[in-house]
Structure 1
């Protein structure tokens, strides 16, 4: 099997209701979908969708420029040799893992279809037919965030992530206390600052909330800042944006900076890289998520497949953007949330086939 063509598509993703974090707000995104075409009549799809240009050093135009640089060197390769394919991408362009992730996802899709197996089967096997998800509550007033937390618990979500930061720390402290009062015992809580807190405010918030069971996710902007205050915090610390690749994950673990991770699939380079992170975390008994910053059914399916292979005791869930997006790429096999859980796709590969009318014409074609 050889790659004969690679097509790149733009898909508009309006963000219903908007999405606000400490450092950015988004109301409209453009996702980049990649199609790998082979000489065996098997195609695979991948996707990458940065949530704006400031959440991470990723942006939509950067992903497309990187793909234009990388893709010509991949024509003629066997996409099932995923390790070799990733080395060929690295030889063509340094960095830009979030763009390469779309190719990696598509290669896993092709491999699954070629062998007649789901991606999760190729990754070691699913732990069940469904996996847990979690709901991310965007920055709003303490009263609004508490109300939404209670509603999401009633809907069946086992975990919520509270977006904090970008405002007076006293309002964040009040929010956390109000949320804790609003929900019943059993719901796990993560307070996610998206790198926005000063070391002073991170200490202040954690100590003022010391009696509340929660995770403090990505409180500060650098590993050095987290290292400086680690012993003064009262809560487990999860790393998210700073875990940019496998090397960063290993550094954070070896330096004792974290108790878990919020992992983004495209950020680290795709399914292949996230599988490595999964295995490292299993070796050190560290919990983590398997999700992404944004995207449609393709990214959602990829995250669900990896998440399905994580030991349940270490799995914090897979976040997908479905609650904020209208419609699906594949209306017959959509990736949906029901009662706080997501069904693992059952078809070979990723288990979804995008409706080509929703992709439109390619914005770039190679081969």
Structure 2
């Protein structure tokens, strides 16, 4: 089997309802990139990458497509089932840009699953659960609005909520955390996520003011060094997210005893292949993780679900997907949809999601033998 064609599409993902607000940016739409790899025996594999706007991290949608354009010609003629070799070829073709490479890596796993008539989660070692928990992110809002959303989402079945803080006064953040805590029902977990929007002093003070409220404190400060400074100064477990940019960052954080858990984004560290390694590293360290991505449609969602289904025991904290914030699906026959706050592993071979290419229009780029 060999790659004979790679097609790339750009697609807009408007946000339904209110803007998505975080400490450092407010979003009303996202720009996603879809990749289709076609083999000489007719198997098609799909991948997707969708950075969370241009100011979330050093990744942006146009950059993803430019990087894929640089890489794609070097993959023609290669066997997509050899994912390790594909990743090496990508690294030889272009330094960095792990997020762009993640879409190609995803498509190769999709092809492998279809070739073996197996789901991606089966190729990753097997699903330990067929239904996985998701969690809902409550954007920056007033204490009353946040509490109202928390009540509604718990009624919909979510048992883990993520509350955004930062980018406003410390008193507002403390009031919001306290108000949401008042409406949490037994069994609901809370993560307070600053998305790097707090300084060290404010992070310490927020944790101290809310010391009687049970939550994990996710990515409070801008840099790894600032977060490391918080060690021993917080009343809550510290989780790292944005500063874990690759496997070396994950290993460093575990070696420094810098965190008690990780919000892992597959595109940020390079795709399914490297998330599989992150899963094993966290398992050996006995530290929980999520299996997420920054944003995206059904392809990203399916990949997150397949990965999450393979994380064992109490080390899995859930998979966040963008479905509650966007409208429509790439594959209306096999959509990745939330039911009672949970996500079912797609049943089909590969990712279990196949976009209708005819609905996407003409590719932005195509490469062929």
Q: Distance in 2 between matches of 1:86 and 1:209?
A: 44
8 Å contact from structure 2 (residues 31, 53) kept in 1: no
Match runs of 1:111-260 below 5 Å: 111-260=112-261
8 Å contact from structure 1 (residues 11, 358) kept in 2: no
Match runs of 1:100-115 below 5 Å: 100-115=101-116
Q: Distance in 1 between matches of 2:150 and 2:343?
A: 19
Aligned to 2:12: 12
TM-score, structure 1 as length reference: 0.99
How many Å apart are 1:358 and its aligned residue?
2.9
SS in structure 1 at match of 2:68:
helix
Runs in 1 of length 4+ with deviation above 2 angstroms? none
Q: Distance in 2 between matches of 1:352 and 1:224?
A: 40
How many Å apart are 1:357 and its aligned residue?
3.1
8 Å contact from structure 1 (residues 333, 345) kept in 2: yes
Q: What does the per-residue CA deviation read over 1:251-291, in whole Å, with 9 as the maximum and x for residues that have no partner? A: 01100100000011111100001111000000011001001
8 Å contact from structure 1 (residues 98, 267) kept in 2: yes
Q: Distance in 1 between matches of 2:327 and 2:62?
A: 23
Tell me, yes or no, if structure 1 residue 364 matches structure 2 residue 365: yes
Q: What does the per-residue CA deviation read over 1:122-141, in whole Å, with 9 as the maximum and x for residues that have no partner? A: 00111122100000000000
How many Å apart are 1:222 and its aligned residue?
1.0
**Cα RMSD between the aligned structures?**
0.7
SS in structure 2 at match of 1:29:
strand
Q: Distance in 1 between matches of 2:52 and 2:15?
A: 10
Q: Distance in 2 between matches of 1:86 and 1:337?
A: 32
Q: Distance in 2 between matches of 1:63 and 1:182?
A: 41
Q: What does the per-residue CA deviation read over 1:135-176, in whole Å, with 9 as the maximum and x for residues that have no partner? A: 000000011001111111111101000011000011110111
8 Å contact from structure 2 (residues 308, 318) kept in 1: yes
8 Å contact from structure 1 (residues 259, 286) kept in 2: yes
TM-score, structure 2 as length reference: 0.98
Aligned to 1:277: 278
SS in structure 2 at match of 1:47:
strand
SS in structure 1 at match of 2:232:
helix
How many Å apart are 1:342 and its aligned residue?
0.4
Q: Distance in 2 between matches of 1:72 and 1:143?
A: 53
Q: What does the per-residue CA deviation read over 1:92-122, in whole Å, with 9 as the maximum and x for residues that have no partner? A: 0000000000000000000000011000000
SS in structure 1 at match of 2:264:
coil
How many Å apart are 1:12 and its aligned residue?
1.4
8 Å contact from structure 2 (residues 335, 353) kept in 1: yes
Q: Distance in 2 between matches of 1:359 and 1:10?
A: 8
